[in-house]
Amino acid sequence: MSAAPPEHPWSLWPAPAKLNLFLRITGRRADGYHLLQTVFRLLDWGDSIRLRVRDDGRIVRHGASVAGVPEDQDLTIRAAKLLKESAIVAQGADIVIEKRIPAGGGFGGGSSDAATVLLALDALWGTGLGVDRLAELGLSLGADVPVFVRGDNAWAEGVGEALSPIALAPAWYLLVDPGVHAPTAALFQSAELTRDAAPATISDFVSGMPLGNAFEPVLRLREPAVEAAFVALSRVGTPRLTGSGSGCFVEFATRESAEAALTVVPSGLRAWTAAGVARSPLHAVLETHLMQGRRQEAQGTRF
């Protein structure tokens, strides 16, 4: 009797968090979606995704549910199934999510996890759809998914999908999670929300003009925990809100200054530091994976 074939190995892939360095709402489309302007900053910190190819075609999530999200609503599962159907793939995948990014904080956890699954399975399954097609698929899962697929810091417009890569200076960030799961749909309906801000330009942003976050006054008014986080962070710098979540941050030029600020944050707040990156760490892992694959192919052609 022949031995059973070995299982496919597990592989580990980063799913980096993001910050919105500002966020303006400049209008609304005919279909009801709001028009935004923002700058996405990718971080060297985030979730991790473990993947293993399956030969039976099943997509299986392992481990505890993510923040109570049912499996059929999990963006990683939806991303895997969408890629499988779009590329007509016979194989499946096992998925394990190692969560660090808090849900509802505006740090992009679910969107980044979905983007990582799209890119990593595209490599593992050998579908070769390319970044443009994967970003298109990602947009159907969520407006923030394409920026993680493309892997660049970006100036974004439209509903967040019209991306232009932007060079950002090195920076470190003190991050705080107030523990509030901000309901995005409800926030967009808020009477206090400014929906018709004058459009900003990249020059405005580069010049340091304070562009703000449209959701900041709404959340500070509605959520005492967010207001408390802003008060605490104002002792070490100028706090800002990220996305439409409750997460707050202060930017610093160096790691030392960010970590010094961390020491004076009240112990009751969940706070940590992270560095901004010029390119998504996921893409570095993908490049390494592709290089290893090419070397293996080259070795296989030798006699």
- Tell me the catalytic residues: 18, 144
The SS3 assignment for 184 reads helix
**The CA-based dihedral angle spanning residues 156, 161, 163, 166, taken in that order and rounded to the nearest 10 degrees:** 50
DSSP designation for 191:
T
What is the distance between the alpha carbons of residues 27 and 195, in angstroms, rounded to a whole number? 6
Cα–Cα distance for residue pair 299/293, rounded to 1 Å: 10
Residues linked to residue 283 through DSSP beta bridges, in sequence order: none
Amino acid present at 94: D
- Kindly tell me the burial class for residue 101, based on how many C-beta atoms sit within 10 Å of its own C-beta (0-12, 13-18, 19 or more): buried
* DSSP at 49: E
The Cα 266–Cα 105 span in angstroms is 19
N-terminal to C-terminal alpha carbon distance within the chain: 30
Amino acid 251 reads: E
Q: 160, 142 in Cβ contact below 8 A?
A: no
* CA nearest neighbour of 275 among 248, 296, 252, 242: 252
Q: CA-based diameter of the chain, in Å?
A: 73
Q: Say if CB 283 and CB 151 are below 8 A apart.
A: yes
Smallest CA-to-CA distance from 40 within 181, 200, 178, 150 is with 150
